[in-house]
């Protein structure tokens, strides 16, 4: 009801973090290229297998000496909706559902999404590109509610047998074929490219495996190293092509992992790979999926701020000079002095620079030793309660479809009937 909306907004209002004046509007009307790394975990950054780097290109970006800010403590907050939860969170600054995928279950809801805001405020054209068919995760329905103009699905790509691996188009081919589409987008554009090859069960054609298997004896973990390398090469190739086509310099580029690739079932082999036992606390450390952010006018550096996918929307809003205040969102701008460093996981666990909360038990984040200090336990308990409230609020938003009651002066309601995703003719 409208009362539930009031309750929700009196909560989200308390989370508003003012923009940092230094960066507000610095990326106004710049193209935004968003690259979704399937199943990428930053544990691969800097990791060597048999003396060889798994992800040499991303490692280079992660030094901070390239053009990107590397957020080294950036986590996913996805649940059962996996990729679709990551997309929901990135573009709406809310959490996925406790059970199932909001893309499938809440596709008739009203949203006030980042792509729609960018379109309405600064005339961005918006698109998604992906080498799978448009009905997967119900994307062709929910994207209409997000106000996404164009959806280049598999029908826009050459899906010949030799171009496929696992769920769909191979990443290198996908990026190559996406360049002409990007070039045709009306500027400024907000384009979201979703990769696919680094997906369970992590298979790669032997002729395209450019790093030797770590031979842990676990096919999932072994394969992951090789598909992560393939993904790394695909991103490098795409960056080179963006530069060649004049799309690199003046664009905001963000690269992020969507969710873990390696589940608890593979803790033993993962431990062998990283040379460390994967305890439950260590498993939480492995939920870092990373954010690399290039903003014209901001020099590359490493930023250890704790953050998650929910924080991206307010960050992009402020970079483009749109105040996040009128929007009902949960994240806080990464560049704001008031950014909140509590990372909320979908199951109610959380992590801060100081504390891990896992299954009701608190740990020192650095040492992973159980907390004994009364003061810290009291502090952790307090945070745990706000985390529970936060998830409850996000659930109420989705389950009550609360944004339908919100007459936001700063947002023109989306009519899904205005959107239709044609098939490509490749």
| Active centre residues (catalytic) | 83
Joined together, the tokens standing for residue 23 give 């960066």
Cβ distance 234 to 171 under 8 Å? yes
| 285 near Mn ion, rule: CB under 5 A | no
Q: Long-range pairs for 210-218 at CB < 8 Å and ≥24 separation?
A: 211/49, 211/52, 211/54, 212/49, 212/50, 212/52, 214/49, 214/50, 214/272, 214/273, 216/269, 216/272, 216/273, 217/269, 218/266, 218/268, 218/269
Cβ distance 260 to 287 under 8 Å? yes
Nearest CB to ligand GP9, comparing residues 86 and 94: 86
Which of 136, 181, 283, 405 is the binder for ligand GP9 (CB under 6 A)? 136
Cβ distance 23 to 184 under 8 Å? no
Give the residue from 166, 372, 184 showing the smallest Cα distance to 380: 372
Please give the size of the binding site for ligand GP9, defined by CB under 6 A. Answer: 8
**Cβ 223 to ligand GP9 shortest distance, Å:** 15
Cis check: omega of the bond before 97, within 30 degrees of 0: no
| 289 near Mn ion, rule: CB under 5 A | no
How, if at all, do strands 355-358 and 361-364 pair? antiparallel
Give the residue from 71, 68, 50 showing the smallest Cα distance to 60: 68
Binding residues among 52-91 for ligand GP9 as defined by CB under 6 A: 82-83
CA atoms within 13 A on the CB side of 213: 15
Which of 194, 234, 235, 393 is the binder for ligand GP9 (CB under 6 A)? 194
**Cβ 135 to ligand GP9 shortest distance, Å:** 10
How would you write 195-237 as a 3-class SS string? Answer: CCCCCCCCCCCHHHCCCCCCCCCCHHHHHHHHHHHHHHHHHHH
Q: Site mask, ligand GP9, residues 350-389, x = CB under 6 A?
A: ----------------------------------------
Orientation angle between helical segments 139-146 and 82-92, nearest 10 degrees: 10
Q: What is the CA radius of gyration of the chain?
A: 21
Residue whose Cβ sits closest to ligand GP9:
82
Q: Mark the segment that binds Mn ion (CB under 5 A) among 47-55, 148-156, 256-264, 311-319.
A: 256-264
| 117 near ligand GP9, rule: CB under 6 A | no
Q: Mark the segment that binds ligand GP9 (CB under 6 A) among 66-74, 191-199, 362-370, 402-410.
A: 191-199
What is the distance between the alpha carbons of residues 30 and 107, in angstroms, rounded to a whole number? 29
| 287 near Mn ion, rule: CB under 5 A | no
Give the residue from 224, 184, 185 showing the smallest Cα distance to 203: 224
Q: Mark the segment that binds ligand GP9 (CB under 6 A) among 61-69, 192-200, 293-301, 308-316.
A: 192-200
Nearest CB to Mn ion, comparing residues 36 and 384: 36
| 41 near ligand GP9, rule: CB under 6 A | no
**Cβ 132 to ligand GP9 shortest distance, Å:** 4
Which of 12, 41, 42, 83 is the binder for Mn ion (CB under 5 A)? 83
**Cβ 96 to ligand GP9 shortest distance, Å:** 11
| 132 near ligand GP9, rule: CB under 6 A | yes
For the purposes of burial, counting CB atoms within 10 Å of the CB of 376, is it exposed (0-12), middle (13-18) or buried (19 or more)? middle
Question: Which of Mn ion, ligand GP9, none is residue 194 near (CB under 5 to 8 Å by kind)?
Answer: ligand GP9
Which of 53, 171, 233, 258 is the binder for Mn ion (CB under 5 A)? 258
Residue written as token pair 């691969």: 44
**Cβ 212 to Mn ion shortest distance, Å:** 26
| 322 near ligand GP9, rule: CB under 6 A | no
Give backbone dihedrals phi and psi of 118, rounded to 5 degrees, phi first. Answer: -60, -40
Please give the size of the binding site for Mn ion, defined by CB under 5 A. Answer: 4
**Cβ 259 to ligand GP9 shortest distance, Å:** 7
Q: Mark the segment that binds Mn ion (CB under 5 A) among 31-39, 71-79, 217-225, 304-312.
A: 31-39
**Cβ 424 to Mn ion shortest distance, Å:** 22
Helix, strand, or coil (residue 182): helix
| 53 near Mn ion, rule: CB under 5 A | no
Q: Mark the segment that binds Mn ion (CB under 5 A) among 239-247, 252-260, 295-303, 398-406.
A: 252-260
Joined together, the tokens standing for residue 38 give 């399937």
Joined together, the tokens standing for residue 15 give 């989370």
Binding interface with Mn ion (CB under 5 A): 38, 82-83, 258
Binding interface with ligand GP9 (CB under 6 A): 82-83, 132, 136, 167, 194, 196, 199
């Amino acid at each position: 009801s409208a009362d539930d909306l009031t309750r929700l907004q009196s909560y989200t209002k308390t989370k508003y973090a003012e923009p940092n004046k230094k960066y507000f509007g610095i990326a106004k009307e710049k193209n935004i290229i968003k690259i979704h790394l399937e199943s990428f975990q930053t544990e691969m950054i800097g990791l060597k297998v048999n003396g060889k780097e798994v992800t040499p290109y991303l490692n280079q970006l992660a030094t901070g000496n390239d053009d990107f800010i590397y957020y080294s403590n950036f986590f996913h907050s996805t649940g059962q909706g996996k990729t679709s939860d990551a997309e929901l969170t990135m573009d709406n600054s809310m959490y996925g559902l406790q059970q199932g995928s909001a893309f499938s279950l809440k596709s008739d809801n009203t949203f006030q999404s980042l792509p729609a805001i960018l379109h309405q405020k600064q005339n961005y054209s918006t698109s998604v590109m992906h080498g799978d068919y448009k009905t997967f995760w119900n994307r062709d329905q929910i994207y209409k509610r997000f106000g996404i103009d164009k959806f280049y699905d598999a029908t826009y790509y050459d899906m010949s047998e030799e171009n496929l691996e696992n769920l769909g188009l191979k990443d290198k081919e996908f990026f190559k074929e996406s360049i002409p589409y990007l070039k045709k987008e009306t500027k400024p554009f907000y384009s979201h490219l979703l990769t696919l090859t680094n997906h369970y069960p992590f298979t790669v054609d032997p002729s395209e495996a450019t790093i030797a298997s770590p031979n842990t004896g676990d096919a999932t973990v072994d394969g992951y190293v090789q598909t992560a390398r393939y993904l790394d090469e695909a991103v490098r190739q795409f960056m080179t092509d963006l530069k060649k086509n004049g799309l690199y310099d003046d664009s905001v580029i963000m690269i992020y992992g969507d969710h873990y690739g390696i589940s608890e079932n593979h803790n033993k082999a993962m431990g062998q790979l990283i040379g460390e036992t994967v305890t439950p606390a260590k498993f939480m450390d492995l939920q870092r999926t990373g954010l690399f952010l290039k903003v014209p006018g901001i020099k590359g550096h490493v930023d250890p701020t704790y953050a998650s996918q929910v924080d991206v929307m307010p960050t992009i809003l402020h970079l483009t000079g749109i105040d996040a205040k009128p929007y009902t969102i949960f994240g806080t701008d990464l560049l704001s002095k008031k950014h909140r460093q509590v990372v909320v996981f979908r199951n109610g666990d959380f992590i801060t620079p100081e504390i891990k909360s896992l299954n009701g038990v608190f740990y020192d984040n650095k040492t992973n030793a159980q907390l004994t200090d009364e003061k810290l336990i009291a502090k952790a308990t307090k945070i745990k309660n706000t985390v529970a409230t936060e998830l409850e609020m996000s659930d109420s938003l989705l389950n009550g479809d609360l944004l339908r009651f919100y007459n936001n002066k700063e947002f023109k309601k989306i009519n899904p009937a205005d959107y239709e995703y044609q098939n490509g003719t490749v």
